[in-house]
A = this chain, B = another copy of it.
Amino acid sequence: MTALRERPLAGHVQLTGRSAIGGRFIEGPTLPAHAFHSLNPGTGENIEPTFHPATDEQVDSACLAAWDAFGDFSGTAPSRRARLLETIATEVRDIGELLVSTVMAETGLGEERIVAERDRTMDTLRQLADAVRDGRWMEPIIDRGEPNRRPPKADIRRMLQPMGPAAVFGASNFPLAYSVAGGDTASALAVGCPVIFKGHPSHPATSELVARAVMAAVEGCGLPAGTFSYLVAGGPREQAVGSLLVRNPCVRAVGFTGSISGGVALSKLAADRLDPIPVYAEMGSVNPVVMLPGAIEKHSEAATQQLAASITESCGQQCTRPGMIFLHASYAADKFLADLANRMEAAGPGTMLSVRLRRNLVGRIERAEAARGVEMIASWDPKLRAERPGPVRAYPVLMRTPAAVFREHIALREEFFGPVAVAVVCASTTDMLRALAMVQGSLTGTIWAEPGDEADTRRVHTMMEQRVGRLIYNGVPTGVRVAPAMVHGGPYPATNRPESSAQGPTAIRRWCRPVCFQETPDHLLPPALQAGNPLKIERLVNGKASREPTPTK
């Protein structure tokens, strides 16, 4: 095969439809019974080429290649890993228009959203590159020895070290930001963990394009070829590829973004290994919003406009989409909800990522509307819900229900993955707090409040903070800022690891464990801990932040 660098990525790329292991796409015979296509949900037609899922042997080869690469890759200078991340960002950008049009065809997402997502993916890669160079995020801590004390105190030096090869599973709804070169891949590579990426079957062409970009960057930076492998998964082998990966002894940690059932199944597989490994799964989030009366009075127009856009954007297929709105019963609340319903209906139908997601959504809506006491104030005509060939469309839905009904029916409290929200009308603050107490763990919670709402605000805040990873005032939860203080995570089932974040430099912790070096000869220490501080990074030395060298023993 020709070297990757010689193949122009932009323009007319011939996709192979195959997995790539250790820098090379698989060649040779394929099994027609396993082949699959991706669907253009905007037209309902199959997209070329045919894709061929990885075989058992190929999964194993990718894991072995990652294992073989681990020693060298984890030992690279931080500056080289930073350059790798920046090169990936450049290579992804350089795919150009072809990437945008491929994502559009495979996902039905709009051009503006895709360009924004691509830029945000590049921003994440670059911020992680900065974090790797900065060095503080590797948490170097040095407690110097006191050899003359009785008993003597040992010199101990600790920092985060990479766990080993990481298996990363792509999400369907963020085909760039949470896929091949997304946050999990970037944070794992940042710390020196080789990545074996399992592509999502709904966007295999997109995945192959980005996998080529990552491989070109690995090759361009002169890193071991096993640093990154890409496995095609889909058709009858979607689950097989994933479970083989999680059980492979070379894999030391797993990142997953997807459904609750998928995340829970992978976590159990990992826990049942002879040597259990961590799985970081981001799963389902309902993202409650509380609209307090003063805020409705002051911000009705802005809030309905922002909420309608946030609920319907990308056809509601965003993990931070607001899914529940809690309000006190009042004339103003009635008007607020009527306005919101109008705006959501005005947004019109959107394109869903897949027939499967649409089918699940229709089933969820029908179970919810069957509950007595649920009123559909923005509705998706049941005649339009039937599955037909052609575009995969979904219409916005806003349901309205008293808090008592909400508390009774689990069908109203689980996530609707689509442009759907449930408005919960509460008779009192107690009624609202009881309803909020039944909201499951979420990535975000939002409170719209004004000074006049103070009495409710603190109680709602306290209740909400227990249930979310990020609490927002007077805004919408979509549009996650990429910055160190961001938390993209939350209590179960938003994630299975609420102590972790999928965004920001602290995301690198998921791929690391701390290692302490006691009385270790200087030349055997990682550079970040050496006496001379050759990386010139900030370290915590005897409790004080310092960029100074420590005296040699």
Contacts and interface: CB of A to CB of B under 8 A. Distances in A.
Nearest to A134: B543
A171 B493 CA distance: 31
Interface string A27-58: 00000000000000000000000000000000
A498 B513 contact: yes
A117 B143 CA distance: 21
B461 A524 contact: yes
Contacts of A338: none
Contacts of A275: 441, 491-493
Copies in the complex: 2
Contacts of A113: none
A516 B486 contact: yes
A516 B158 contact: no
Contacts of A496: 276
A481 B154 contact: yes
Contacts of A157: 485
Interface string A491-511: 111001111010000100110
B518 A276 contact: no
Interface stretch (A7-15, A89-97, A198-206, A465-473): A465-473
Interface size on A, as a range, is 35 or more
A141 interface: yes
A487 B462 contact: no
Contacts of A337: none
Contacts of A498: 163, 513
B516 A471 contact: yes
A182 to B, nearest CB: 20
Contacts of A404: none
26 contacts: A139-B506, A141-B484, A141-B485, A143-B484, A143-B486, A153-B481, A153-B483, A154-B472, A156-B481, A158-B484, A158-B485, A158-B487, A163-B498, A163-B499, A267-B271, A267-B276, A275-B491, A275-B492, A278-B499, A471-B516, A473-B519, A473-B520, A473-B524, A489-B513, A499-B509, A499-B512
A449 B523 CA distance: 13
B143 A481 contact: yes
A458 interface: yes
A105 B509 CA distance: 44
Most chain B CB within a 10 A radius of its CB, from A158, A268, A516: A516
Interface of A: 71, 139, 141-143, 151, 153-154, 156-158, 161, 163-164, 267-268, 271, 275-276, 278, 441, 449, 457-458, 461-462, 465-466, 468-475, 479, 481, 483-487, 489, 491-493, 496-499, 501, 506, 509-510, 512-521, 524, 538, 540, 543, 545
Nearest to A495: B513
The 4 A-B pairs of least Cβ separation, nearest first, read A487-B516, A470-B516, A498-B513, A158-B485
A264 B491 CA distance: 22
Of A471, A485, A496, most buried by chain B (CB within 10 Å of CB) is A485
Nearest to A539: B485
Contact of A487 (B154, B481, B515): B515
A531 to B, nearest CB: 14
Contacts of A141: 484-485
A164 B465 CA distance: 12
Contact of A471 (B518, B543, B545): B518
A110 to B, nearest CB: 17
A474 B499 CA distance: 36
Given A461-B524, A485-B156, A545-B545, A469 B142 contact: no
Given A143-B483, A271-B267, A484-B141, A465 B509 contact: no
Given A142-B485, A156-B486, A514 B506 contact: yes
Contacts of A481: 143, 153-154, 156
A513 B443 CA distance: 12
A141 B516 CA distance: 25
Nearest to A443: B516
**Which of the listed residues A498, A512, A519 has the most CB atoms from chain B within 10 Å of its own CB?**
A498
A515 B471 contact: yes
Contact of A475 (B143, B484, B518): B518
Contacts of A142: 485
